[in-house]
Structure 1
Amino acid sequence: MKGNVTVKTLAKELNISIATVSKALNDSYEISIDTKQKVWDLAKKLKYERNPAASNLRSHKTKTIAVIIPEIANNFFSLAINGIEEIARKRDYHVLIYQTHENSETEITFTDSLLSGRVDGILISVSSNTENYEHFKELVKKIPVVFFDRTIEDIDAVKITTDDYESAYNAAYHLIGNGCKNIAYLHALDNLSTGQKRLSGYRDALSAHNLPANPDLIISYDKDTEKNYDNIKQLIVLQKPDGIISSIEEFALPCYYVCKELGLNIPHDLKIISFSNLSTAPLLSPSLSTITQPAFEIGKEAAGFLFKILDKKHFEPDEVPTLKSTLIQRESSLDKNKSPGIHLGFHYQLNLNV
């Protein structure tokens, strides 16, 4: 019967409707396990072969999802995409990658074009210079959307994030525990809740330890790499911080270069810790202490919830997790005269490998 077996054939053999067979073959939550098993067993016995193209046309599905990210070269987003693709492959879905290059106009162009029916759903990490969110408010009304990592608070959509406030707070606490009293903060993602939470965590940690919150110790990220370098240099020369928290990994290496130019020793003169998924962090000299996000797991969770929405499966808001980052102590932030390993109440590692 191979080649002649259709959904109609299976329905007739089992004395059930064609719609029930179709839903069972698609593993729909509407169909009982017993019925699904009967359909699957008969399909296997009769060597039923699905026609993906016809199935997609009938269901109006493209079997494709889009991922909109700021930059694929960023280590975090590369890992997140791997997690997304792992889930998508299990569902026989294709993944289209769109890079905004931190440009909100490009972001709007992508979201507008994807409303044409090209994809079944969208995963988005928001561009850092996005200030007007109206296109997102309209987007979530028309197509399933899940935000990950960089999100917008007042958008009614699933958001998969990490503990940004707690992570920044613990980074400051780590530096304080290693003797720092004049801690600078390299601020980025100003327009997004991600950046705002990290900044709040830093400020609250200083306040909790009776350290002054000097606004001159905070500088903001600039697209111009030379300007970033000059700003960091000026900060170190004028404010003389003994510790630095970098809120993004793009700030970390310029700190090393500035210290080299100024003849400063890391960590003796200046301790540094950075939010980063940089794979070479252990290889820097000295090795870089990092707040490392679970990027792969974030990608998997984001894709998983997008497919729950596509499958119309119900879930409660409290089922959406906030993932934990890992503070990895390396040489750049440690006082060598003190014993390392202060427990900060979250995933915490000591790694002195270089």
Structure 2
Amino acid sequence: MSGEVNIKRLAQELNLSIATVSKALNDSYEISLKTKTRVLTLAKELNYTPNPAASNLRSNKTKTIAVIIPNIANNFFSLAIKGIEEIARQYGYHVLIYQTHEDIETEMLFTNSLLNGRVDGILTSVSSNEYNNDYYRDLVKKIPLVFFDRVYESLDAFKITTDDYQISFNATEHLIECGCTQIAYLYGLEKLPAGRTRFAGYKDALAAHGISIDENLILHYQPEENENVTNIVNLFQSHKPDAIFSSIEEFAIPAYLACKELKLQIPDDVKIISFSNLSSAKLLNPSLTTITQPAFEIGIEAAKCLFKILTKRGIGDDQNIVLKSVLIKRESTGCWEKPA
């Protein structure tokens, strides 16, 4: 038989229905391995090439998902995207990536532009400059949406987070066990649940060890790195903390730069710990003790949840998934056991 090689022709030659052939080509669980093998073998022999545009038109699917994040240069988000892309490829989906640069107006502009059928679903880690719960409460009703890392807790949606409270408690306790009592807290994400939860872990660890919280030792994040360096320098000069707990990666390098400017020795004069997925953390001098989030795994789980929605297989599943971060002790906190 000559002519165009399409699903209809494959079905005729195999004496199968068009629906069966289509499902076999898409690796549907409804089709037996024997039938899939027959279909794929003939498709290969006849050099069958699928027409994705026609397939998507019939299914009303774009085979595309969007990922909206604050900053792709952040090590956490670049690793999370790798996890998302791995799952998307398994489903034959493309991934569009949008950066908001922590701007809520840009974030809304992106999401609104995607509601016209351009993508089948959205994965997002929200901006930190404004709490926008009402907007997202409406958005989750319009398009499949999964939150990861930075989430809105009250929404009826899948949310993939880490154990921010417990790991912050453990990190603060580590500094206390290293002899620190004047622990400065570099506060980021303060308008979001993740930031507030990390701060709660820090405060409760101090209280558990009978240490009163000193508001003078709390420093709030600023968008400009130089401003953060200056503020940390002023903090050292005014209140002389013996440790720094950085709640976000963006504070880590400014903390080192401030110590360098003041000729403070880490960890002898001050100990430093930071949330960070910096691959270079172990190469800093001294190496940085980090709270490392399972960013790649978070991306994997977030994408899996989105495809549960898209395939209608996630109904009734627990929507709150919490993964564990790891406290990696290195030289910057001074009381660690170097691996053999």
Q: Same fold (TM over 0.5)?
A: yes
Say yes or no: does 1:266 pair with 2:266.
Answer: yes
Q: Distance in 2 between matches of 1:297 and 1:11?
A: 40
Partner of 1:172: 172
Call closer, same or farther: CA 1:166–1:23 in 2, change over 3 Å.
same
Contact persistence 2:273–2:289 (CA under 8 A)? yes
Partner of 1:345: none
Secondary structure of the structure 1 residue equivalent to 2:140 = helix
Identity within the alignment, %: 61
Q: Where in structure 2 are the equivalents of 1:189-200 lying within 5 Å? A: 189-200=189-200
Call closer, same or farther: CA 1:4–1:236 in 2, change over 3 Å.
same
Say yes or no: does 1:306 pair with 2:306.
Answer: yes
Partner of 1:225: 225
Say yes or no: does 1:163 pair with 2:160.
Answer: no
Partner of 2:215: 215
Contact persistence 1:329–1:351 (CA under 8 A)? no
Given residue 235 of structure 1, which amino acid in structure 2 is its aligned partner?
L
CA deviation map 1:129-150 (0-9, x unaligned): 1322232222211111111111
How far the C-alpha of 1:214 sits from its partner, in A, is 1.5
Contact persistence 1:28–1:311 (CA under 8 A)? no
Secondary structure of the structure 1 residue equivalent to 2:61 = coil
Contact persistence 1:3–1:49 (CA under 8 A)? no
How far the C-alpha of 1:44 sits from its partner, in A, is 2.5
Secondary structure of the structure 2 residue equivalent to 1:258 = helix
Q: Distance in 2 between matches of 1:264 and 1:39?
A: 67
Given residue 178 of structure 1, which amino acid in structure 2 is its aligned partner?
C
Call closer, same or farther: CA 1:319–1:71 in 2, change over 3 Å.
closer
Secondary structure of the structure 2 residue equivalent to 1:160 = strand
Given residue 274 of structure 1, which amino acid in structure 2 is its aligned partner?
S
Q: Where in structure 2 are the equivalents of 1:203-352 lying within 5 Å? A: 203-314=203-314, 316-318=316-318, 321-335=321-335, 340=336
CA deviation map 1:17-67 (0-9, x unaligned): 5445434443445x2x53x64245234235454221110110011111111
CA deviation map 1:224-254 (0-9, x unaligned): 3333222212222222211111001111111
Partner of 1:346: none
Call closer, same or farther: CA 1:199–1:70 in 2, change over 3 Å.
same
CA deviation map 1:251-295 (0-9, x unaligned): 111111211222211101110000001111111111111111111
Q: Structure 1: which 5+ runs fail to align?
A: 342-349
How far the C-alpha of 1:13 sits from its partner, in A, is 6.7
Taking structure 2 as the reference length, the TM-score comes to 0.91
Given residue 224 of structure 2, which amino acid in structure 1 is its aligned partner?
D
Q: Distance in 1 between matches of 2:131 and 2:320?
A: 25
Q: Distance in 2 between matches of 1:333 and 1:159?
A: 32
Partner of 1:61: 61
Secondary structure of the structure 2 residue equivalent to 1:287 = coil
Say yes or no: does 1:119 pair with 2:119.
Answer: yes
Q: Structure 2: which 5+ runs fail to align?
A: none
Q: Distance in 2 between matches of 1:313 and 1:103?
A: 34
Taking structure 1 as the reference length, the TM-score comes to 0.88
Contact persistence 1:63–1:120 (CA under 8 A)? yes
Call closer, same or farther: CA 1:94–1:197 in 2, change over 3 Å.
same
Call closer, same or farther: CA 1:97–1:2 in 2, change over 3 Å.
farther
Contact persistence 1:273–1:291 (CA under 8 A)? yes
Q: Distance in 2 between matches of 1:23 and 1:218?
A: 58
Call closer, same or farther: CA 1:262–1:21 in 2, change over 3 Å.
same
Q: Distance in 2 between matches of 1:97 and 1:202?
A: 33
